[in-house]
A and B are shown apart, each in its own frame.
Chain A
Amino acid sequence: MQFEVIYQCHTTRARVCRMQLAHGVTMLPTFMPVATQAAIKGLTPQQVESLGITLILNNTYHLNLRPGTQVLHEAGGAHKFQGWKRNMLTDSGGFQLVSLNKFTNITEEGALFSSPFTGDLTMLTPEESISIQHSIGADIIMQLDDVVSSLTVGPRVGEAMERSVRWLDRCIEQHERSGQKDRQNLFAIVQGGLDLALRDQCLDAMIQRKDRVAGYAIGGLSGGEEKDVFWRIIKQCADKLPVDRPRYSMGIGFAEDLLVCVALGVDMADCVFPTRTARFGVALTSKGPLNLRLKKHAKSMDRIDNNCPCPTCTSGMSRAMLHHIVTIETAGAHALTQHNLVFQAQVMGGARDAIMEGRFPDYLRTFFKNYFGDRGYPEWCVNALRSVGVDLLQGGDVPLIPGSGAKWEYSDIA
Chain B
Amino acid sequence: MMGSPSLTFTLPHSVPRFSARLGKLVLTRLTPDSDTIMIEMETPNIFVGTSRGVISHLSRDQCNSSDATKWINVPFESFLEQTPPVPTMQTGPYPLHSFLGLDTRRHIASLCLRDPLDTREMPPNGNVHVSANCIRGVRKVTTSDWRNYVHKMQPDVVFALTDAPFTSPPHSQKRMTKSIERSAAWVADLLRPMPCDVSSSELQSPRISHHLLNVFVHMAGGTSLPAREAFAFSLKEKLHGPEAEAIKPLHSLDEGITGYSFDLATLRGIKPHPNTSYHQSLPDHFLERESPTMLQNTSLIAEAHTPSPTSASSGSLPAEPLVPPEIASLLRTSLVELPEGKPRLVTGSRSAHEMLRLIRDVGVDIFDSGWAMGAANVGVALDFVFPVPPTDCDAADTERRDLGHNLYDRIYAHQFSSLSDAFESAAGRASGSGTGLFPRRVCSCMACSPRSPPLHILHSTLDHQSYTDSAHGEVVVEYESPYSRAYIHHLLHTHEMSAHTLLAAHNLAVLSALLAGVREVLADETGEGAGDRFALEVERFESSYEESMEVFSAGKKAWQDVDTARGKGRLAREKEKQVASSEDREYR
Chain B residues contacting A71 (CB-CB under 8 Å) are 413-414, 486, 490
Given contacts A66-B490, A316-B98, A324-B79, contact A39 B60 (CB under 8 A): no
Whether a CB of chain A sits under 8 angstroms from the CB of B100 is yes
**Alpha-carbon distance A62/B493, docked complex (angstroms):** 12
Chain B residues contacting A43 (CB-CB under 8 Å) are 59, 498, 501
Whether a CB of chain B sits under 8 angstroms from the CB of A51 is yes
B54→A329 contact, CB < 8 A: yes
Query: In whole Å, how far is A134's beta carbon from the nearest beta carbon of chain B?
Result: 19
Nearest residue (CB) in A for B502 is A44
Whether a CB of chain A sits under 8 angstroms from the CB of B463 is yes
**Alpha-carbon distance A320/B98, docked complex (angstroms):** 13
Nearest residue (CB) in A for B480 is A83
Which of A105-113, A116-124, A158-166, A174-182 contacts the other chain? Answer: A116-124
Whether a CB of chain B sits under 8 angstroms from the CB of A301 is yes
Q: Please report which residues of chain A, range 13-57, place their CB below 8 angstroms from some CB of chain B when the two chains form the complex.
A: 16, 18, 20, 24-27, 37-47, 49-52, 54
Whether a CB of chain A sits under 8 angstroms from the CB of B398 is no
Given contacts A46-B450, A47-B59, contact A27 B498 (CB under 8 A): no
Whether a CB of chain B sits under 8 angstroms from the CB of A194 is no
Whether a CB of chain A sits under 8 angstroms from the CB of B18 is no
Q: Please report which residues of chain A, range 151-205, place their CB below 8 angstroms from some CB of chain B when the two chains form the complex.
A: none
Q: Please report which residues of chain A, range 43-100, place their CB below 8 angstroms from some CB of chain B when the two chains form the complex.
A: 43-47, 49-52, 54, 62, 65-67, 70-71, 74-75, 80-83, 85-86
Whether a CB of chain A sits under 8 angstroms from the CB of B221 is no
A85→B452 contact, CB < 8 A: yes
Whether a CB of chain A sits under 8 angstroms from the CB of B145 is no
A338→B59 contact, CB < 8 A: yes
Query: In whole Å, how far is B583's beta carbon from the nearest beta carbon of chain A?
Result: 16
A324→B459 contact, CB < 8 A: no
Which of B122-130, B287-295, B553-561 contacts the other chain? Answer: B287-295
**Alpha-carbon distance A364/B498, docked complex (angstroms):** 36
B459→A346 contact, CB < 8 A: yes
Chain B residues contacting A117 (CB-CB under 8 Å) are 571-572, 575
Chain B residues contacting A119 (CB-CB under 8 Å) are 572
Mark interface residues in A310-332 (1 if CB within 8 Å of B CB, else 0): 11100111101100110111111
**Alpha-carbon distance A408/B451, docked complex (angstroms):** 38
Whether a CB of chain A sits under 8 angstroms from the CB of B279 is yes
**Alpha-carbon distance A246/B279, docked complex (angstroms):** 47
Given contacts A44-B501, A315-B61, A334-B497, contact A349 B453 (CB under 8 A): no
**Alpha-carbon distance A258/B159, docked complex (angstroms):** 51
Whether a CB of chain B sits under 8 angstroms from the CB of A335 is yes
Whether a CB of chain B sits under 8 angstroms from the CB of A309 is yes
**Alpha-carbon distance A85/B470, docked complex (angstroms):** 12
Chain B residues contacting A24 (CB-CB under 8 Å) are 466, 469-470
A301→B90 contact, CB < 8 A: yes
Whether a CB of chain A sits under 8 angstroms from the CB of B446 is yes
Whether a CB of chain B sits under 8 angstroms from the CB of A352 is yes
A320→B60 contact, CB < 8 A: no
Nearest residue (CB) in A for B63 is A331
Number of interface residues of A (CB under 8 A): 79
Whether a CB of chain B sits under 8 angstroms from the CB of A299 is yes
Chain A residues contacting B304 (CB-CB under 8 Å) are none
Chain A residues contacting B373 (CB-CB under 8 Å) are none
Query: In whole Å, how far is B251's beta carbon from the nearest beta carbon of chain A?
Result: 41
Pick the contact of B480 from A42, A85, A324 — CB < 8 Å?
A85
Whether a CB of chain A sits under 8 angstroms from the CB of B53 is yes
B460→A311 contact, CB < 8 A: no
**Alpha-carbon distance A357/B540, docked complex (angstroms):** 69
Whether a CB of chain A sits under 8 angstroms from the CB of B337 is no
**Alpha-carbon distance A356/B460, docked complex (angstroms):** 10
Mark interface residues in A329-357 (1 if CB within 8 Å of B CB, else 0): 11111110010001001101110110010
Given contacts A26-B466, A46-B480, A75-B484, contact A116 B572 (CB under 8 A): yes
28 A-B residue pairs with CB within 8 Å:
A25-B465, A26-B466, A27-B460, A27-B466, A40-B498, A42-B59, A42-B497, A47-B62, A50-B61, A50-B455, A66-B493, A75-B416, A85-B480, A119-B572, A310-B457, A312-B60, A315-B61, A320-B86, A324-B78, A325-B53, A327-B292, A330-B500, A331-B54, A334-B57, A334-B501, A335-B60, A350-B460, A353-B460
Task: List 13 additional A-B contacts (Cβ < 8 Å) besides A52-B457, A276-B290, A317-B60.
Answer: A26-B466, A41-B498, A45-B450, A52-B463, A67-B486, A70-B414, A85-B480, A280-B292, A324-B78, A327-B295, A329-B52, A332-B295, A350-B459
Query: What 3 A-B pairs come out closest when comparing CB atoms?
Result: A349-B459, A50-B453, A52-B457
Q: A residues within 8 Å of B by Cβ?
A: 6, 16, 18, 20, 24-27, 37-47, 49-52, 54, 62, 65-67, 70-71, 74-75, 80-83, 85-86, 116-119, 276, 279-280, 298-299, 301, 309-312, 315-318, 320-321, 324-325, 327-335, 338, 342, 345-346, 348-350, 352-353, 356
